[in-house]
Amino acid sequence: MQTRNSRMGLVLFAVYLVLYGGFVLINTFSPETMEATPIAGINVAILYGFGLIIAAFVMALLYGVLCDSNDEPGSSKEDDQ
Amino acid sequence: MIYEPSVSAAVIFFVFVGITLGISFWLGRKATDAKGYFAAHGQIPWFVNGVAFAGDYLSAASFLGICGMIAFYGYDGFLYSIGYLAGWIVALFVIAEPMKRLGKFTFADALDAKFQSPGIKLAAGISTLAVSVFYLIPQMVGAGVLVQPLLGFPHWAGVVIVGVTVIMIVVTAGMVSTTWVQFIKGTLLVIFSAILTVMILNRGFSVATDEQTGLQTIAFPDGVPEGWTRFVDEEDKWPNFIRFKDESSRIRVFTQYDQDTDQGRKTWLLEAQYTSTDKDGTVFVNGEPKGKEKGEPELHPVGHIRKLPGGADKTGPLGPLSFFSTLLESEVVLWGSEKINESDDKTTTVYFQKPTPGSQVLRPGEHPKFKGIRGKDFIGKLNFLSLMLALFCGTASLPHILIRYYTVKDAAAARKSTIVGIGSIGFFYVLTLYMGLGAMTSGGMDVTNSNMAAPLLARSMSELLFAAISAIAFTTVLGTVSGLILASAGAVTHDLMSSFFKIEMDDHQKVRVAKLSSVVVGAIAIGLGILFEGMNVSYLVGWAFSVAASANLPSLIMILFWKGVTKQGVITAVVVGMVSSLGWILCSADSMEKIFGMTASDALVPFGQPGIVTIPLGFITLVVVSLLTKKPEPAVVA
C-alpha cells in the first residue's frame, strides 16, 4: 500500500516539518531574531511567515507534478471500492 | 460604537443569502440517496472541490478572528494563518490518498477499514460530533457578531438566522448544495479580500489629526486648556490616568506619554475613552449618557498612525513590500483597556491609547496569549508551542475537511483538489496580514470588539464594499457551518446508527435520519453560539483544533504507518485524546474566567492550549494499548 507517491509525500512532509519547526522554535526561544530586518527593510517574522506559505504551495505543486507522472494508474485502481 | 444598519448592506446581504439558498434547493432535487446526500455521488470536479476546501476551511475564525487579532495586536494573529496553512501539508502529503482509498462516507470508515469494529465506529463517531460541535461555537459567535452592525439585530438574532439558514441548506440537499455554497463563498472571499488589499495599498498610510480621531492630544503641562481643572477623587482609583474636569464639567481622562525628540524629552497627554454602567443600567460614554443614533455620544472609532517615517503626513500608494517597511518605521496607536470598580454598583472600563513602534507591532509576542514567548517562564513558551503544534496537526484531523475527500472520484482528484485548496487558502492567508494591518490603521475600528475589524475596514473604504464583505463573511459562516453539520449528521447516521446500533436502514431512511440529526446539531449550535458571545473566535478555533488533533490524528497516522495497531488501541486512543483535551480546556484559566465565572488562578492546568500534552498522549495510548492487546483471539467480539 506504501506507493512511491506516499514515500515522496513523506519526504516532502519532512522538509516542511523542518521549515515550520524552525519557525516555531525561533519564535519561542529567540523572538528577538524575528525583529531583524535583513531584506528590503522587512523583518524576519514577515519574510519567514510569507516564505512558509509560499513554500507550502510550491511543494504542493511539486508533489502534484511528480505524482501525476509516476503512479497515477496504481492509485486510481486501488481506489475502486 | 453605534452601528447604523444600512439599507444597501441589508439588500446585498439578503440577495446573497437568497441566491445561496436558491442554488441549494435547485441542486438538492438530485440528491435523494445516501451516496448523493453525503458524498455528492463522488462527482464533484476537482477544481470545484479544491475551492470548496477553501470555502469550507476559511471560516469566520480565519476571516474575522485573524484580521481582528492582527488589527488589535499586530503580527501575532498572523501566526494563526501560518499554522492553519501548515496543517494542509499534513493533509496533502500524509493523509489525503489513504483517506480516499480507505473510506466511503466518513473518516470513521477509514479508521475502521481494517478492523470492521463497531467500537471504532462509535468512538470515531462521537469524536466527530465533539470536534464539530466545538468548531461550530466560534462560527456561530462570528455570525452573531456580523449581523449586529449589518442589520441592527442583537447577537442572538444573528446566531438564530445562521442556524436556521444552514439547517435549510443541509436538509434540502446535503453535500451537493453544501459544496456549491462553499465554492461560491471561497471564490468570493478570496477575490474580495484581494480587492480590499489593493485598496489598502492604494490608500497608503496617513497620520490622523485630533479632529479625525475625535480625541485630544495635549502638550503637558503647558497645553492644558484654560478652564480645565485636575480632577482627583479621595481614594484614587485611577492611578494610571490623569483626569480633568473640562469647561463643561465633563470628566476627560488621559494617559501620559513621554517621548524623546530632537528637542529633548516631551510629555504628551493622550485622551482615553471610557464607558460606565451605573446601578439602574444607564450606560455612560466618556461621561455622557450613551446615545442611540449617529451623532450622539458614543465611543469614537479607533485605529490610527501617530507618526510616519521622516515626519510625513501621508505616504501615498504603497507597494506590497514597502507597506511593511514603512509601517516598521512608523508609530501606531494600539489600544489597551482597564476595568475600574468605582463603587459597588458602578464599573468603568477605560480604553487608552498605547503608541507603539511599528517594529513592535510587526514582531511576535505582543498579544497577551503570546506574551509568554518573550518571558523567562517556560510555561508561557510551552503554551505557544502547544498551540502551534495543534494548528499543524489539527487540519488533517478535522472531520468536516476529511469528508471532502469523498466528494471527488479518485485519489488523483483528491490530491489535485488539495493543491488547489492550498493555493487559494495560502493566498488568502497572505492577504490577512495586509487586511489586519490595514484595519489597524483605518480609523474605523470598534475598540470593544476585535471580531468586527475586517468588515469595519471595508466600511472605512466604502459602504458598498462593507455590504459585500459582510455578506461574504456571513456566507463564510454558512459554508463552514453547513460542512460541520453535514459531518455531524454523517457521523450520527453511519457511525452511530447503522454501524454501532446496527439499525437497518435503506438509503431513504439514512437520508431522513441525517436530516433529522442536522436539525438537532443545528439547534445545539444555536444555543452554544448565544452562550459564548464575546470570546475571540480565533482562540476558540485553536481549541477545536486541539481536540481534533488529540482525538483523531494518532489513530489516523498510526493505522497508515504501523502494522501493530489493534482495534482496542484505536478506540482507547480516540477516547483518551478526546477526553483529555476537552478536560484540559475546561480546566484552563480561560474557561474558569469566561465560562464558569471564577478567577484565572482556579485553573487546574498550567497553560491553556492542551495539544503538546494530549497529542503525544494519544499516540502513547495507542501504542501501549495496541501492544498490550496484540494478537487477540480471533473470536473476540468488541
What's the average model confidence in pLDDT over A21-41? 85
Q: What is the ipTM of this complex?
A: 0.85
Residue of B58, B73, B81, B82 to mutate when probing chain A, most A C-beta within 10 A: B82
Q: Return the axis-axis angle of helices B463-490 and B118-151, rounded to nearest 10°.
A: 160
Question: Are residues B213 and B233 in contact, defined by beta-carbon separation less than 8 angstroms?
Answer: no
Q: How many CA atoms lie within 13 A of A50 on its CB side?
A: 13
CB contact under 8 A, A79 and B78: no
CB contact under 8 A, A35 and B86: no
Q: Chain A residues with CB-CB distance to B under 8 A?
A: 1, 5-6, 9-10, 12-13, 16, 20, 23-24, 27-29, 31, 34-35, 37, 40-43, 45-46, 49-50, 52-54, 56-57, 59-61, 63-64, 67-68, 72, 75-76, 78-79, 81
Report CA B240 to chain centroid distance, whole Å: 32
Question: Smallest Cβ distance to B385: which of A9, A24, A75?
Answer: A24
Residue B119: predicted pLDDT: 81
User: What is the C-alpha separation between B514 and B268, in angstroms, rounded?
Assistant: 63
List C-alpha distances in Å: B556 to B25, B132, B323, B495, B570. Answer: 35, 17, 42, 16, 9
List strands edge to edge, sheet with B283-285: B288-289, B283-285, B273-277, B346-357, B331-343, B304-307
User: 3-state SS of B132-147?
Assistant: HHHHHHHHHHHHHHHH
Angle at alpha carbon of residue B522, lines to B518 and B527, rounded to 5°: 155
CB contact under 8 A, B429 and A53: yes
Residue A58: predicted pLDDT: 92
Angle at alpha carbon of residue B94, lines to B90 and B100, rounded to 5°: 115
In this predicted model, what pLDDT tens digit does every residue of B495-552 receive, in sequence order?
A: 777 666 666 767 777 777 778 888 888 888 888 888 877 666 666 777 788 888 888 8
CB contact under 8 A, A6 and B90: no
B277 φ/ψ angles, rounded to the nearest 5 degrees? -120, 125
Residue B426: predicted pLDDT: 92
B117 φ/ψ angles, rounded to the nearest 5 degrees? -110, 125
Instruction: From chain B, pick out residues whose CB is under 8 angstroms from the CB of A12.
Output: 89, 93
Give me the residue spans of the domains in chain B. 7-204+399-536, 210-374
- Segment A64-68 long-range contacts (CB within 8 Å, at least 24 positions apart): A64/B415, A64/B416, A64/B419, A66/A8, A67/A5, A67/A8, A67/B412, A67/B415, A68/B412
User: What is the C-alpha separation between A23 and A44, in angstroms, rounded?
Assistant: 10
CB contact under 8 A, B363 and A1: no
Question: Smallest Cβ distance to A45: which of B75, B85, B329?
Answer: B75
In this predicted model, what pLDDT tens digit does every residue of B29-58 receive, in sequence order?
A: 665 666 666 666 666 778 888 888 888 788
CB contact under 8 A, B415 and A50: no
Angle at alpha carbon of residue B204, lines to B298 and B423, rounded to 5°: 100
B513 φ/ψ angles, rounded to the nearest 5 degrees? -60, -45
Q: How many CB atoms lie within 10 A of CB B630?
A: 12
Question: Are residues B582 and B556 in contact, defined by beta-carbon separation less than 8 angstroms?
Answer: no
Residue B432: predicted pLDDT: 92
Ranges of chain B whose pLDDT falls below 50: 636, 638
Neighbour-count burial for B192-205, b at 16+ CB within 10 Å, e otherwise: bbebbbebbbebbb
pLDDT mean across residues, chain B: 80
| Interface contacts (A, B; CB < 8 Å) | 134
Q: How many CB atoms lie within 10 A of CB B210?
A: 11
Angle at alpha carbon of residue B217, lines to B212 and B219, rounded to 5°: 150
B7-204+399-536 topology per CATH: Sodium/glucose cotransporter (1.20.1730)
Closest-CA distance, B319 to chain A, in angstroms, reads 12
Closest-CA distance, B237 to chain A, in angstroms, reads 36
pLDDT mean across residues, chain A: 78
User: What is the C-alpha separation between B175 and B405, in angstroms, rounded?
Assistant: 12
Give the predicted TM-score (pTM) of the model: 0.85
User: What is the C-alpha separation between B331 and B474, in angstroms, rounded?
Assistant: 34
pLDDT band per the 50, 70, 90 thresholds, residue A72: very low
Q: Is B312 helix (H, G, I), strand (E, B) or coil?
A: coil
CB contact under 8 A, A63 and B85: no
Neighbour-count burial for B372-394, b at 16+ CB within 10 Å, e otherwise: bbeeeeeebbbbbbbbbbbbbbb
Strand partners, B273: B351
- Segment B251-258 long-range contacts (CB within 8 Å, at least 24 positions apart): B251/B287, B252/B216, B252/B228, B252/B286, B252/B287, B253/B350, B253/B352, B254/B216, B254/B218, B255/B352, B255/B353, B256/B220, B257/B353, B257/B355
CB contact under 8 A, A53 and B85: yes
